[in-house]
């Protein structure tokens, strides 16, 4: 049954899986809810090693699962689906952009190389535009942790991956795919949503680059994953 499959979580650039998992202590935003299904995530693996690690895990345990990828994590989810099409049942792509211009990525690489801490703080602030309460929570609860463990080589790897990979999803069956985007997202504005097969479910929520924090997200996703 589709509803019984575990869910593999892949976070975005500069973030760890905690952004998808941890409850806040301020009561300002509702944490994402994934029901009672088993969650799979790799807390100590940088993005540069995630594809190999995830593929190895799925092959070793013979797992079949759903995958939720956010931002850069969505591109990695698409690549994992390409590599292991029979292991990935459904894809939830959250705030995934069709492509990035090379000059835009090069500017970000230069900023990261100049001052990684400052670059990440600016990135986080842009991600949370339209989600001020969630941003206040994030700054207190998670940002210090992410800044402390950030490594320049992993950030550069992720930026280069964004520059060299496009979100091509035309070949995926519409019943296997859910796209979720934020109306106020400045990193992935609505005109940069990837082209998808006719009939694909696309949810547009009144929020920013982290639509999984919106109060309606969990219900949308759980309904989608429960369909056979």
Question: For 38-89, how does the pLDDT look when each residue is reduced to its tens digit (9 = 90+)?
Answer: 888 888 899 999 999 999 989 887 889 999 999 999 999 999 999 999 999 9
What is the Cα–Cα distance from 10 to 13, expressed in whole angstroms? 10
Q: Domain 2-226 classified CATH 3.40.50.300?
A: no
The pLDDT of residue 118 is above 80 = yes
% of the chain beyond a pLDDT of 70 = 92
pLDDT for position 170: 79
The pLDDT of residue 24 is above 50 = no
The pLDDT of residue 31 is above 60 = no
The pLDDT of residue 26 is above 60 = no
What is the Cα–Cα distance from 199 to 156, expressed in whole angstroms? 36
Chain-centroid distance of CA 69 in Å reads 4
What is the Cα–Cα distance from 89 to 93, expressed in whole angstroms? 13
What is the Cα–Cα distance from 57 to 63, expressed in whole angstroms? 8
What is the Cα–Cα distance from 95 to 181, expressed in whole angstroms? 5
The pLDDT of residue 183 is above 90 = yes
Condensed to tens digits (0 to 9), the pLDDT of residues 140-178 reads 989 999 999 999 999 999 999 999 999 989 789 999 999
The pLDDT of residue 25 is above 50 = no
Q: Which residues have C-beta within 8 Å of that of residue 224, sequence separation ≥ 6?
A: 90, 92, 178, 201
Tell me which of 8-12, 38-42, 86-90, 186-190 is least confident: 38-42
> Which has the higher per-residue pLDDT, 31 or 40?
40
SS3 for 36? coil
Helix segments in the chain, DSSP class H: 18-21, 47-61, 72-83, 102-114, 116-127, 132-141, 143-149, 152-164, 217-226
What is the Cα–Cα distance from 181 to 195, expressed in whole angstroms? 13
Instruction: Determine contact, residues 217/35, Cβ cutoff 8 Å.
Output: no
Nearest to 128 by CA among 70, 73, 186, 74: 186
pLDDT for position 36: 53
What is the Cα–Cα distance from 154 to 140, expressed in whole angstroms? 23
């Amino acid at each position: 049954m589709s509803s019984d499959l575990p869910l593999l979580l892949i976070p975005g650039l500069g973030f760890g899986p905690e952004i998808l998992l941890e409850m806040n202590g301020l009561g300002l935003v509702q944490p994402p809810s994934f029901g009672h299904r088993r969650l799979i995530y790799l807390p100590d693996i940088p993005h540069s090693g995630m594809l190999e690690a995830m593929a190895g895990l799925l092959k070793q345990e013979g797992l079949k699962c759903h995958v939720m990828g956010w931002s850069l994590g969505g591109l990695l989810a698409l690549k994992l689906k390409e590599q292991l099409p029979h292991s990935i049942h459904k894809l939830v792509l959250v705030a995934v952009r069709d492509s990035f211009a090379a000059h835009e990525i090069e500017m970000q690489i230069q900023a990261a190389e100049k001052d990684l801490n400052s670059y990440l703080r600016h990135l986080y602030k842009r991600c949370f535009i339209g989600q001020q309460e969630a941003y206040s929570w994030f700054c207190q609860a998670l940002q210090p942790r992410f800044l402390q463990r950030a490594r320049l080589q992993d950030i550069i790897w992720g930026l280069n991956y964004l520059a060299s990979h496009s979100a091509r999803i035309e070949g995926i069956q519409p019943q296997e795919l859910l796209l979720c985007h934020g109306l106020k997202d400045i990193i992935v504005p609505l005109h940069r949503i990837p082209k998808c097969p006719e009939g694909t479910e696309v949810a547009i929520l009144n929020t920013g680059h982290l639509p999984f924090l919106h109060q309606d997200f969990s219900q949308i996703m759980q309904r989608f994953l429960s369909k056979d």
